[in-house]
Amino acid sequence: MGHVKIPYYIVKDGRGYWNPTAAMKRAGFASVPCGPDGPPAWSIAVTWNARWQDHRKGTTSTQWPDGSLGEAFEKYRRTDTWARKAIKTRQEWDAMWRLHICGYFGDYPPNAATFDRLDKWYSLLLAKNSIREAHRAMKIWRALWRVAGAMKYCDPDNDPSLGIRRKTPTPRTQVWSEGEAVRLVKGAWRKGYHGLSALLAIAWDTQFAPIDCRRLTSEQMTRTGPRLAFSVDRAKTGAPAIGTLCARSQRLLESYLASFAAEPLPNAPILRNRSGAAYTKEALNKDFAKVRATVFGPTETRKIMDSRRSGAVEAMAGQVDDGALAAKMANTIDQARELQRTYLPVDPASVARADDARLRGRHHLRTKRGEKSE
């Protein structure tokens, strides 16, 4: 076979592969098996080079074959339904598509993905990646199959991957106690991480995710009776949420805000790092790791987001009703159907019931652990 020069194309044991660099893989591209070395394999490699160039230029590839899964996905990404997805959700779809799906199935009609091919693909995912990553890739595959079915590219009710039993990632179970949360808040303040200290107190009280805490603004602050609260739309789901602060956290936040040289703009994030910039995900994780190591030692691995689970554990120990906990966490933890969510709106009364249950549960858990209150 004559030698051809195609960027990133290599041959192993007579078979061609389009083999992206490490930087290209970080951008979401994966190695693509092109088949036996020859013109058909070269054509696939050329196509993938074109897609890489499209990605570099910020344009959308239009080279997917007619009727292919890739064509279906590109059409879907131009719909209003796609645009209404949360940014994080779109990022996950794009990442799983580029990293794990399109290299194996993108050029072919969805029905070409037989059970045998999907079984081998999933086994390869497990061999090369974590169980969690393989689980995410299969989740997006199944969602994409339903979308392609709705667009008449395949039968939405005949996804062959349903014959594959996925391995389920071990869920996180780590929690903080109230005393540990207080030590973190105090430790951050004493180390000069005042914005982080306020963020940790807010995350504990409100059960907001770290990303929602990072984005809090003064215009989101309200008062529910004597209590200061935040009204937000959760970044992950867009669901409305109300987060109330206890008196101690409220005093801490007010003290932190009083230290500002000028009043922040209504829509500007109020929780800042020590340089005065709004917290990014990376800066928040870095500062928290330093404080966590100072307070609990270098072997501690629990995260800020574990405060969310900790609050749910407290509330359940306090015998919270499912609707109130769902309102507090702005999700469907109660397994509610759409009608239930319609008639159980997020309102201060529901959130207050969850807060009261947390106090009861906290006392119960503290008694079991033999702890004293902070």
Instruction: Quick: pLDDT tens for 51-96.
Output: 788 777 765 555 788 899 999 999 998 899 988 887 778 888 988 9
For residue 168, what are its two tokens? 């389920």
So what's the pLDDT on residue 245? 92
196 pLDDT above the threshold of 80: yes
What percent of the chain is modeled with pLDDT above 70?
85
48 or 268: whose pLDDT is higher? 268
Do β-strands 221-224 and 9-12 pair in parallel, antiparallel, or remain unpaired? Answer: unpaired
Residue 337 confidence (pLDDT): 42
Which has more pLDDT, 251 or 374? 251
What integer is the mean pLDDT of 167-180?
Answer: 85
Tell whether the model's pLDDT for residue 343 goes beyond 50: no
Question: What's this model's pTM, rounded to 2 decimal places?
Answer: 0.59
Is 308 in contact with 329 (CB distance < 8 Å)? yes
Q: Where does the pLDDT of residue 273 fall: very low under 50, low under 70, confident under 90, or very high at 90 and above?
A: very high
User: Which pLDDT band holds residue 312 (cuts at 50, 70, 90)?
Assistant: confident
**264 falls in which pLDDT band (50, 70, 90)?**
confident
Give the residue from 346, 343, 325 showing the smallest Cα distance to 334: 325
Give me the helix-helix angle, 194-206 and 247-258, nearest 10°: 150
User: Using 50, 70 and 90 to split pLDDT, how confident is the model at 341?
Assistant: very low
Segment 187-211 shows an average pLDDT of: 94
Phi, psi for 338 (deg, rounded to 5): -60, -40
171-175, 190-194, 217-221, 266-270: which has the minimum mean pLDDT? 171-175
How far apart, in whole angstroms, are the C-alpha atoms of residue 321 and residue 319?
6
Please compute the mean of the pLDDT values over residues 182-187 and round it to a whole number. 97
